[in-house]
């Protein structure tokens, strides 16, 4: 799938902060900000920002004073003199030139040396995409380069695939709900039959969410400076894509559990900056869904759910209005074609995982650039 593209690059003198445009069939959606560093590649893959089965018949007009167009994306590798904020707008039209939607965001290019000389602790929470450990390894690799802080990761899960120093709380198939409610009285030592690392028996022998105990017993009393959460696929994958009300109800249920975990983190680790990752897009290939699910789930079905979920995640974080909780734009920088294998619907290949890890790193550098402000 390739997209027909027209790009205009110029200095923008006016900026209208439109993010999730929910009007029109294409549902053009951008987060409020995206992040990059000098020397690091960041892309907005066009198929990931619209809701369409036929994005190859759409035209994308990108307006920005940095970056360049490709057939299927806008991309930038900033230079050191690009540090600062850059307005970026995307306009979508059909092949006749009829405008369909427009949205605007801010590209924040932060210094490559942000956080250098500091020491930080991170806690990563996620599902199978985190369990694979490829994107946490990539983020750790970026952090291990010169001009970065000294880093460590909290977490009880250290899969064989995790690089040296990488640990997390990422488990295949897990959800926001499982992290805040699940207690297993008879664990067998595997992640499939274990309690949430955050749930313990209280004095009445009832399971409860207890982040204070987690940090005390599983992190030697240490608290994270940064928490990155990548959940949502398993919470919503089975929602009915043809029933918008039920889809939203499923997302509402997910957010009720997200509230529980985020509120507990804000109490137990009040100084931690929390990044909520926007749910990654599907593999571009319907054949990958057929390989995994036969006819039970389709790419178009999950695309509709995932796109609605991203819109709701952006709104959810905005409405929380907490400067300590922001979105990580992980859904933008992932190539839906070459970032996936031929036969997996939602799990990227090494290229895609590295793109996710880079996006998380860019967000971390932005947060580090603001540390102490």
* Segment 188-247, tens digit of pLDDT: 988 889 999 999 999 999 999 999 999 999 999 999 999 999 999 999 999 999 999 999
Rounded Cα distance between 354 and 349, Å, is 9
Tell me the average pLDDT across 103-121: 98
Residue 335's CB: how many other CB atoms inside 10 A?
20
Rounded Cα distance between 115 and 136, Å, is 18
Q: In this predicted structure, what is the pLDDT of residue 12?
A: 31
Q: In this predicted structure, what is the pLDDT of residue 18?
A: 36
Calculate the average pLDDT of the chain.
93
Rounded Cα distance between 34 and 248, Å, is 26
Q: In this predicted structure, what is the pLDDT of residue 192?
A: 85
Q: In this predicted structure, what is the pLDDT of residue 11?
A: 30
Q: In this predicted structure, what is the pLDDT of residue 302?
A: 98
Q: In this predicted structure, what is the pLDDT of residue 372?
A: 60
Q: In this predicted structure, what is the pLDDT of residue 190?
A: 87
Sequence-ordered list of residues with C-beta below 8 angstroms from that of 7, at least 6 positions apart, any chain: 60, 61, 62, 68, 69, 74
Q: What percent of the chain has pLDDT over 70?
A: 93
Give Cα separations from 264 to 215, 219, 267, 281, 310 (angstroms). 12, 16, 5, 28, 23
Token digits of residue 43 = 């892309």
Rounded Cα distance between 123 and 274, Å, is 9
Q: In this predicted structure, what is the pLDDT of residue 141?
A: 99
Decide if pLDDT at 85 tops 50: yes
> Could you give the residue range(s) of every CATH 2.60.40.10 domain in the chain?
4-109
> Could you give the residue range(s) of every CATH 3.40.50.1110 domain in the chain?
119-369
Q: 119-369: what CATH class?
A: alpha beta
Decide if pLDDT at 143 tops 60: yes
Reported in sequence order, the residue ranges of 211-324 that DSSP labels E, i.e. its strands, are 226-230, 273-277
Tell me the average pLDDT across 325-331: 99
Reported in sequence order, the residue ranges of 180-336 that DSSP labels E, i.e. its strands, are 199-201, 207-209, 226-230, 273-277, 325-328
Coil, helix or strand at residue 290: helix
Per-residue model confidence as pLDDT tens digits over 239-263: 999 999 999 999 999 999 999 999 9
Phi, psi dihedral angles at 208 (to 5 degrees):
-150, 155
Give Cα separations from 318 to 225, 227, 265, 304 (angstroms). 21, 18, 18, 22
- For the four alpha carbons of 211, 179, 162 and 314, in that order, the dihedral sign comes to negative
Decide if pLDDT at 321 tops 90: yes
Coil, helix or strand at residue 180: helix
371 pLDDT band, cuts 50/70/90, is: confident
71 pLDDT band, cuts 50/70/90, is: confident
Q: 4-109: what CATH class?
A: mainly beta
Per-residue model confidence as pLDDT tens digits over 8-17: 333 332 323 3
Go through 89-126 and write b for each residue having 16 or more CB atoms within 10 A of its CB, e for each that does not: bbbbbeeeeeebbbbbbbbbbbbbbbbeeeebbbbbbb
Return the half-sphere exposure (C-beta side, CA atoms, 13 A cut-off) of residue 80.
3
Q: In this predicted structure, what is the pLDDT of residue 3?
A: 40
Q: What is the pTM of this model?
A: 0.93
Question: Are 223 and 216 contacting, i.e. CB atoms less than 8 angstroms apart?
Answer: no
């Amino acid at each position: 799938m390739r997209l027909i593209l027209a790009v205009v690059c110029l200095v923008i003198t006016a900026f209208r902060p439109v993010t999730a445009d929910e009007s029109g069939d294409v549902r053009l959606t951008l987060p409020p900000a995206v992040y990059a560093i000098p020397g690091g590649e960041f892309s907005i893959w066009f198929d990931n920002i619209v809701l369409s089965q036929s994005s190859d018949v759409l035209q994308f007009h990108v307006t920005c004073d940095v970056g360049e167009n490709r057939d299927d994306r806008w991309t930038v590798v900033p230079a050191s003199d690009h540090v600062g904020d850059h307005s970026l707008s995307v306009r979508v039209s059909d092949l006749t030139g009829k405008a369909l939607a427009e949205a605007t965001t801010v590209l924040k290019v932060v210094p490559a040396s942000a956080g250098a000389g500091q020491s930080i602790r991170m806690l990563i929470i996620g599902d199978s995409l985190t369990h694979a450990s490829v994107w946490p390894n990539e983020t750790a690799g970026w952090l291990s380069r010169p001009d970065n802080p000294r880093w460590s990761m909290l977490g009880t899960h250290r899969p064989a695939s995790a690089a040296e120093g990488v640990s997390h709380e990422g488990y295949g198939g897990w959800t926001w709900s499982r992290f805040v409610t699940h207690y297993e009285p008879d664990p067998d030592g595997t992640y499939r039959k274990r309690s949430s690392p955050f749930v313990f028996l209280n004095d009445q022998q009832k399971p409860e969410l207890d982040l204070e105990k987690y940090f005390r017993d599983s992190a030697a009393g240490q608290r994270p400076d940064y928490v990155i959460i990548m959940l949502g696929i398993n919470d919503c994958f089975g929602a009915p894509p043809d029933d918008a009300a039920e889809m939203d109800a499923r997302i509402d249920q997910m957010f009720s559990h997200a509230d529980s975990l985020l509120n507990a983190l804000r109490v137990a680790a009040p100084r931690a900056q929390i990044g909520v990752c926007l749910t990654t897009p599907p593999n571009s290939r319907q054949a990958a869904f057929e390989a995994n699910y036969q006819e039970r789930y389709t790419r178009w079905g999950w695309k509709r759910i995932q796109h609605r979920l991203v819109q709701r995640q952006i709104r959810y974080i905005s409405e929380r209005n907490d400067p300590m909780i922001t979105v990580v734009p992980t859904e933008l920088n992932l190539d839906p074609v070459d970032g996936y294998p031929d036969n997996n619907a939602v799990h990227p290949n090494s290229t895609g995982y590295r793109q996710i890890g880079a996006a998380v790193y860019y967000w971390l550098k932005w947060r580090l650039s603001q540390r102490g402000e």
